[in-house]
Structure formats: structure tokens, C-alpha cells
């Protein structure tokens, strides 16, 4: 059923944003990039970025709907006291990001397999060995000080690593990956391609052969060209929603 049919549901704010998030959750589960009922996506909905939508506590990505999203105030210290309180680690990590990183309008955290393998290596850098890897050249931050579950203190520490708007991938050492962006489409597209890039790199390492590195200047040129490429992220998410609609998925309810 088309998401358009649900666009006028009463008393639910930020409807189109909710629909986009729900679609991203569904497709992340389909790609097996989720982790049981853990992991979280969030999207800022006010100018300062401190109010944000996020998935409910311990709901599987594969069944999240637009109307299920929590609306959270990162400045409200009583957030964890309500009946629909978010997961404490999600509050710690995403709340800190939305308080301190206004450029991070959307934040997606997963323990996807290949990004997490990369984060588990002593050297977690992603070298530019193909076009997808080059997309992230000089655009990642590596956290080498994992401090346990992302409760408030750990969340604050991680958020401080995302202070450079150019660097939109946090490789969370011994943990997973955090991807930030301007919109749901922009962030999901980046998450998708980072996982693909990490897979290429890990599989290349498995061959035991020497890697063919793209020169630094070409890697930077490629990354900039991808950033300037018009409309791909929006079209990517739009196509995914059309597939879900054709299948009769209820994500847009």
C-alpha cells in the first residue's frame, strides 16, 4: 500500500520524516545489517537539532512503522523516566550527538558485519582500494578508546569525536559504526556504501595478496565527485520505498 495514503494521519508530527526512517529500518533489516533488537537511528526535527525522532526501545527493525517513532528532547533530563523511554544506551549515544553535533541531523548506528570487523582490527583505517572505499577517503574518524556500553558518559565521549562536519563516519573501535548525515536518505546511502566498502576491503585482505591502492589525490577527487553527485541518495531511498510499497509493507503506517 502506498505511503501516500497515510500522509494525513492525525496528531502525528514530522510524518514524511517518520516514513523515511521506517523505510530505512526495514531495508537495514533486509540487508542483515541490524543486531537483534539493538541499534538505533535518529533524525533531528528542530533547527538546533536537539529534538529528534528515534526507534522505540527493543523493537525489531523489520517491523518498525512510521507511527512507532519516539520524539525525544535531548535537553530533557527526565527522558528516561517516562513509560515510553528510549533504550538507555540509545539515549546516551544519540542524545549526546544531537546535543553537541548540530551538523549531524541524522545518525545511524549499527553493528553490521563488515564495518564491525573493520572496527575490530588493530588498524581500522579503510584504504582506498576501490571506488567505494575511495568515497570515504579522509572522511572517517576512528575511535580507539572503547569504554563499554554507550551510556551517557560513553555517549558524550563518542559525540566529541564527530566535531568535524567533513568526517561523517565514526568507526567505533571494538563496537561498530556510526554514520551521520543531513537527511535519512543521505545517511542511509552513506551507511549502505560504507558497509559495501568495508566488505570489499575485508574480502581483499582474505586473499592474502598485496592491495592495489588508489593514489591519494585520485581518492580525494573521487570522494569529492561522489559528494557532488546529484540526487543519488534521494533516489536510492525512493526506490526502496517503492519496492516496500509494491510488497504491501506497513512501514508507512
Tell me what pLDDT residue 12 has: 86
Report yes or no on 145 lying in a domain: yes
Q: Do the domain assignments include residue 214?
A: yes
Task: Answer yes or no: is pLDDT of 214 > 80.
Answer: yes
pLDDT tens figures, 61-72: 999 999 999 999
Question: Tell me, what CATH number does 21's domain have?
Answer: 3.40.225.10
Domains in the chain, number: 1
Evaluate whether residue 233 is within a structural domain. Answer: yes
With respect to residue 163, please indicate whether it lies within any of the assigned structural domains. yes
Closest CA to 133 of 84, 68, 43, 199: 199
Q: Output the pLDDT for position 154.
A: 93
Query: pTM for the full model?
Result: 0.93
Q: What is the pLDDT of residues 13-38, one digit of tens each?
A: 999 999 999 999 999 999 999 999 99
Using the predicted structure, report yes or no on whether residue 3 has a pLDDT greater than 60: no
Residue 135 lies in a domain: yes
Which pLDDT value is given to residue 14?
96
Element (H, E) at 170: strand 169-172
Predicted local distance difference test score (pLDDT) of residue 9: 52
Q: What nine digits make up the cell of 82?
A: 517516562
The parent domain of residue 82 ranges over 3-246
Alpha carbons 54 and 43: distance in angstroms, whole number: 7
Is 79 a domain residue?
yes
> What is the reported pLDDT for 150?
84
**CA 125 to CA 130: how far, in whole Å?**
14
- 36 to 15, 191, 246: CA distances (angstroms): 26, 18, 26
Does 253 map to a domain? no
Rg value, the chain, Cα: 18
Q: Is the predicted pLDDT of residue 2 greater than 80, yes or no?
A: no
Say if CB 14 and CB 20 are below 8 A apart. Answer: no
Domain assignment present for residue 75? The answer is: yes
Q: Is 8's pLDDT higher than 70?
A: no
Q: How far apart are the C-alpha atoms of 95 and 49, rounded to whole Å?
A: 10
Judge whether residue 48 has pLDDT over 60. yes
Q: What is the pLDDT of residues 137-158, one digit of tens each?
A: 999 999 999 999 889 899 999 9
Locate cell 576491503: which residue? 201
Residue from 122, 116, 124 nearest 141 by CA: 124
Q: Report how far residue 149's alpha carbon sits from residue 244's, in angstroms, rounded to the nearest whole number.
A: 33
Residues 6+ apart with CB under 8 A from 183: 20, 43, 105, 106, 233, 234
Given a cut of 80, whether residue 213 has pLDDT beyond it is yes
Amino acid at each position: 500500500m502506498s505511503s501516500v495514503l497515510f500522509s494525513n494521519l492525525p496528531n502525528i508530527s514530522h510524518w514524511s520524516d517518520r516514513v523515511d526512517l521506517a523505510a530505512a529500518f526495514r531495508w537495514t533489516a533486509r540487508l542483515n545489517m541490524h543486531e537483534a533488537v539493538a541499534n538505533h537511528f535518529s533524525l533531528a526535527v528542530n533547527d538546533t537539532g536537539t529534538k529528534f525522532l528515534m526507534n522505540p526501545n527493543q523493537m525489531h527493525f523489520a517491523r518498525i512503522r512510521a507511527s512507532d517513532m519516539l520524539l525525544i528532547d535531548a535537553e530533557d533530563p527526565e527522558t528516561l523516566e517516562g513509560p515510553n523511554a528510549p533504550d538507555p544506551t540509545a539515549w546516551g549515544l544519540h542524545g549526546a550527538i544531537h546535543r553537541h553535533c548540530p551538523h549531524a541531523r541524522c545518525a545511524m548506528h549499527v553493528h553490521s558485519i563488515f564495518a564491525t570487523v573493520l572496527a575490530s582490527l588493530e588498524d581500522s583505517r579503510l584504504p582506498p582500494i576501490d571506488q567505494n572505499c575511495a568515497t570515504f577517503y579522509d572522511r572517517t574518524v576512528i575511535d580507539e578508546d572503547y569504554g563499554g556500553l554507550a551510556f551517557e558518559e560513553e555517549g558524550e565521549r563518542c559525540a566529541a569525536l564527530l566535531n568535524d562536519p567533513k568526517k561523517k563516519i565514526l568507526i567505533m573501535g571494538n563496537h561498530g559504526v556510526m554514520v551521520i548525515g543531513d537527511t535519512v536518505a543521505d545517511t542511509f546511502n552513506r551507511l549502505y556504501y560504507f558497509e559495501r566498502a568495508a566488505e570489499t576491503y575485508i574480502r581483499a585482505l582474505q586473499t592474502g595478496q598485496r592491495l592495489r591502492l588508489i593514489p591519494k589525490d585520485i581518492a580525494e577527487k573521487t570522494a569529492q565527485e561522489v559528494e557532488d553527485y546529484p540526487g543519488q541518495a534521494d533516489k536510492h531511498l525512493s526506490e526502496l520505498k517503492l519496492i516496500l510499497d509494491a510488497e504491501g509493507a506497513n512501514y508507512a503506517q
